[in-house]
Amino acid sequence: MMPWLLMCLGLTACLKPPPAQSEFVLGTVCTINLYEQGSARIYDAIFSRLHEIEQTMSASLAGAPLDRINQNAGIAPVPVPADLIAVLDTALGYAELSDGAFDPTVYPLVKRWAIGSEDPHLPQEAEIQEALSLINWRDVVIDREAATVFLRRSGMALDLGAIAKGYAADEAARLLQNARIKRAIIDLGGNIFAYGTKQESGLPWRIGIQNPLDTRGTYLGILAVRHKSIVTSGVYERYAEINGQRYHHILSTRDGYPVRNGLLSVTIIADRSIDADGLSTAAFALGYEQGRTLVEAIDQAEAIFVFEDKRIRGTPGALAGFTLNDTQFNLAE
């Protein structure tokens, strides 16, 4: 009798779906929740893909393909994996659309500030000017035939931090699609893919929008979505205090300082997470007027802008699914 009982207990433990899983990868805590459809196999497949993307696209990882491109700037084209070329290609597209406000060659400037690292610093004006002189997305040469990338000038360097997590979320979604999983929340450090619908009945997911002025996990409102990615770029995501001043991590490719334009955050809702991620950074860097024009030019993309004066504005498609629940903020036209 006893062995049977033990076996059954063991069996029920095995059949119980594993809870959501989290790992530190892509520089942040990534959580995947497959609800009742989870299995160790699919979780492992997703997290190993996320690690693979990090190993390919990290600028700070010595020997990674992206680092090899950077080390060979001004020297030679570097053969790289196809996924890196695809992501870089999308990044260059947003660089063009934003007239360089979003620019994947921003790394020399990102390194000078080192915001989000152990040792952030306020660069000297000369350092800022030197870094700015190395930023220009037009000096990135992709050879598709040879599958190589070349940076024309020595000292140039790529940073895909503003877009790689979006690509990673799309890859996670693709693996779920292949496994015929119906619903999931993919959360890569706040870069969300609300995959499928909340329940069989087709109820939308309800995704909280961070209050940029409050502690993490405090939402100013809720977005109801079905099978969409939601990505926010904001002043609160990553910042450093230097001499009592706060500096956030989205840098102006014009003046070399953290972007200041009255915005606290930009949230993008889109079908593909790479677009939501790229656009959120690009729109934030551009500011409200031009950022909104950019988003409106892109099919299927919607945006919510949160301002320092606590106004919130958005495209009609975004506001249709949005419920404001923090009365400090107010919805404007």
Scanning residues 177 to 196, which ones bind ligand ADP (CB under 6 A)? Answer: 191
The answer to whether 70 touches 151, Cβ cutoff 8 Å, is yes
**Contact mark string toward ligand ADP, 127..166, x via CB under 6 A:** --------------------------------x-xx--x-
Binds ligand ADP by CB under 6 A, chosen from 65, 80, 84, 102: 102
Cα 206 to Cα 17: distance, rounded to the nearest angstrom: 22
In whole angstroms, how close is the CB of 214 to ligand ADP at the nearest point?
A: 17
The listed partner (Mg ion, ligand ADP, none) that binds 263, CB under 5 to 8 Å by sort, is: none
The listed partner (Mg ion, ligand ADP, none) that binds 110, CB under 5 to 8 Å by sort, is: ligand ADP
Q: Which of these, 215, 70, 82, 211, lies nearest to 154 by C-alpha position?
A: 70
In whole angstroms, how close is the CB of 192 to ligand ADP at the nearest point?
A: 11
Cα torsion 231, 234, 238, 240 to 10°: value is: 170
In whole angstroms, how close is the CB of 141 to Mg ion at the nearest point?
A: 24
Give just the sign of the alpha carbon dihedral 42, 48, 50, 56.
Answer: negative
User: 151 by DSSP, 3-state: which?
Assistant: strand
In whole angstroms, how close is the CB of 39 to ligand ADP at the nearest point?
A: 29
Q: Determine the interface stretch with ligand ADP among 75-83, 96-104, 199-207, 208-216 (rule: CB under 6 A).
A: 96-104
Binds ligand ADP by CB under 6 A, chosen from 32, 110, 128, 156: 110
Determine, following the binding rule CB under 6 A, whether residue 233 of this chain makes contact with ligand ADP: yes
DSSP annotation of 152 reads S
Q: Determine the interface stretch with ligand ADP among 13-21, 102-110, 267-275, 317-325 (rule: CB under 6 A).
A: 102-110
In whole angstroms, how close is the CB of 161 to ligand ADP at the nearest point?
A: 3
For Mg ion, the binding residues (CB under 5 A) are 162, 277, 280-281
Scanning residues 280 to 319, which ones bind ligand ADP (CB under 6 A)? Answer: 280-281, 285
Contacts of 193 (CB under 8 A, 6+ apart): 169, 170, 172, 173, 184, 185, 186, 228, 229, 273
Cα 92 to Cα 249: distance, rounded to the nearest angstrom: 20
Determine, following the binding rule CB under 6 A, whether residue 265 of this chain makes contact with ligand ADP: no
Measured from the Cβ of residue 253, the count of other Cβ atoms closer than 10 Å reads 22
Contacts of 176 (CB under 8 A, 6+ apart): 34, 42, 46, 184, 186, 195
The CA-CA-CA angle for residues 185, 221, 30, to 5°, reads: 30
Contacts of 45 (CB under 8 A, 6+ apart): 175, 179
Determine, following the binding rule CB under 6 A, whether residue 253 of this chain makes contact with ligand ADP: yes
CB closer to ligand ADP out of 83 and 187: 187
Cα 157 to Cα 175: distance, rounded to the nearest angstrom: 31
The listed partner (Mg ion, ligand ADP, none) that binds 67, CB under 5 to 8 Å by sort, is: none
Cα 192 to Cα 205: distance, rounded to the nearest angstrom: 11
In whole angstroms, how close is the CB of 33 to ligand ADP at the nearest point?
A: 19
Determine, following the binding rule CB under 6 A, whether residue 277 of this chain makes contact with ligand ADP: yes
The answer to whether 268 touches 282, Cβ cutoff 8 Å, is no
The listed partner (ligand ADP, Mg ion, none) that binds 249, CB under 5 to 8 Å by sort, is: ligand ADP
Query: Given the rule CB under 6 A, which residues bind ligand ADP?
Result: 102-104, 106, 110, 159, 161-162, 165, 191, 233, 237-238, 249-251, 253, 277, 280-281, 285
